[in-house]
Structure 1
Amino acid sequence: MLLTLANKFVQTIDMITELLGKAVAWLTLLMVLLTFSIVVLRYGFNLGWIGMQESVLYFHGLVFMLGAAYTLKHDGHVRVDIFYQKYSHKQKALLNLFGSIMLLLPVCIFIFFISVNYVMSSWQIMESSPEAGGLPLVYLNKSLILLLAITLSLQGLAEITRNLLILFQDLPNTKNTAGAK
């Protein structure tokens, strides 16, 4: 029963992360098209708008902050694979478990708590761009910091659970419920 609940938890978080990753992929395409449009308008027609240029920065923030959990799920973060590549499946799970508990979650918790006042003060004043013609949504952009910490923490918890399932999958009276990465 506990293994079933753990598996369901991992599947739910993975599904949310996948949906977010697909949304980010489309945002990346929009960001590229917007950047192309800015270049064509500026150098082809001598036109430019600060708000349009700032929107590319907002898209960058969305892509990188919301794409971090997706990257973690797909094991796409930078890693030194000198030893890791030779480890067994269980050794990798143990190392990933240790890294998630000792590094990932503490960093996410730190980022969240260190950023709360920064983001809240931005919301209180409804912070907008200091540039004339800039976007009046700086407070939303700063909120991505908190969303990064939340989504990365949730995926980190799913990874911890997945690695625990891998480590305990060979116990008697249990099924192989862990999904391999």
Structure 2
Amino acid sequence: MAEIYGAPAPGVRMFGWAMLAAMAAFLANAILTFWFGFPGAGAALSGGGARAVLQVLLYAACIGGALVVVQRTGGRSLRTDAELVTAINALLVRAAFWVVLLVGVGDAAVSFLRVNGQLAQVAGETAAGILGRAETRGVCFHVPLVVLGILIGAVTRGIGFLWLSLLVVAAELLIVLSRFVFSYEQAFMADLVRFWYGALFLFASAYTLLEDGHVRVDLLYASLRRDRQGRVNAVGAVILGMLLCWTILVLGFASSSSVIVGPILVFEVTQSGFGMYVKYFMAGFLGVFAVTMMVQFVAQFFEAVADARGEAGARQTHAEMT
């Protein structure tokens, strides 16, 4: 693979994989801090105790492990790494698609039964009480669907989020038919459209970046040679792309009231009593956006450096084919 696609670049590979490892450690530390009561890695310098030190060591272990793997696979080329990182990202997006599909359909069904007074008849009084509260619906109903969605995403192939556009159209069509034909409309129907549309917009961003389908407002880039385009993309991936993703993650997980973690901790819902209980998921969409974009920016960084070095094997994007 290295002989076909170019010479190894250990320094570039170490930077990219260390960035992904640091993000994984950051997310793991966020889970430990907000859901398991750990003091946070920053508390290691202010008397946080052994658990805070453990969180610091988690960063060292993840980054160190990434560097060791890079060293042991020294013959791997940048384009090979880019393909691997893109495959990992495709897995993440597939899992996210199945999660929002299952949660959307399941929560809409529960809301439909609840608004029509049939939930207790179908599920029983106890289950109806559980599903009528945001916290218990999230833990007892949403979490199993999330796990199932991740498992399905792990064993399926294809870019699942492409189907979200069809689902959004179907949900909108359902609203039109039910409202103007049957004079029936409920809050959960509009919630489902917003839920799936938000997922479509944010989950598709990494795929758009992969295929170079985003809008470039420039006067020079299109006329540059591929090696110079590679330099531009490499710098942009680090300074603009990765920095933006880190900004979203750091601000989103800064405290228990931050824009991402805050709604998830309290299972935030909309004010409409019979709407869907998925508003906190939409806060999580922003985190998924930052993670998938970070992963794809690392893949783009590898590809861009390979282009800048004039290596063979450059992939042709949809934008270039059109």
TM-score (norm 2): 0.51
| CA deviation string 1:19-70 (max 9, x = no partner) | 6382111011011011011111111211011111101001111001111000
Could you tell me which of 249, 262, 282 is aligned with 1:141?
282
Cα distance in 1 for partners of 2:197, 2:214 equals 18
Could you tell me which of 62, 65, 82 is aligned with 1:10?
82
* Structure 2 equivalent of residue 158 of structure 1: 299
Give the stretch that moved more between structures: 14-23 or 133-142.
14-23
**SS of equivalent to 1:132:** coil
Contact 1:169 1:178 in 2 (8 A): no
Kindly report which structure 2 residues correspond to 1:7-46, keeping only aligned pairs within 5 A, or say none: 7-18=79-90, 20=93, 22-46=159-183
Contact 1:17 1:70 in 2 (8 A): no
Give the stretch that moved more between structures: 14-23 or 53-62.
14-23
Kindly report which structure 2 residues correspond to 1:21-170, keeping only aligned pairs within 5 A, or say none: 22-116=159-253, 117-169=258-310
Distance of aligned partners of 1:29 and 1:17 in 2 relative to their CA distance in 1, 3 Å threshold: farther
Distance of aligned partners of 1:73 and 1:13 in 2 relative to their CA distance in 1, 3 Å threshold: same
Shift of 1:180: 4.9
* Structure 2 equivalent of residue 179 of structure 1: 315
| CA deviation string 1:128-181 (max 9, x = no partner) | 2211211112111210100000000100010001111122245xxxxx354354
* Structure 1 equivalent of residue 34 of structure 2: none
**SS of equivalent to 1:131:** coil
Opposite residue 109 of structure 1, the aligned amino acid is W
Contact 1:165 1:177 in 2 (8 A): no
**SS of equivalent to 2:181:** helix
**SS of equivalent to 2:301:** helix
How many residue pairs get aligned? The number is 176
Contact 2:227 2:307 in 1 (8 A): yes
Cα distance in 1 for partners of 2:316, 2:188 equals 45
Asked which structure has the greater RCO (Cα within 8 Å, sep 6+), the reply is 1
Structure with bigger gyration radius: 2
Cα distance in 2 for partners of 1:37, 1:125 equals 31
Cα distance in 1 for partners of 2:279, 2:81 equals 34
Give the stretch that moved more between structures: 146-155 or 82-91.
82-91
TM-score (norm 1): 0.88
**SS of equivalent to 2:300:** helix
**SS of equivalent to 1:85:** helix
Contact 2:195 2:278 in 1 (8 A): no
| Cα RMSD, aligned residues only | 1.9
| CA deviation string 1:81-129 (max 9, x = no partner) | 4321211011111111111111111111111111223222212211122
Unmatched tracts of structure 2, length 5 or more:
3-7, 10-75, 95-158, 318-322
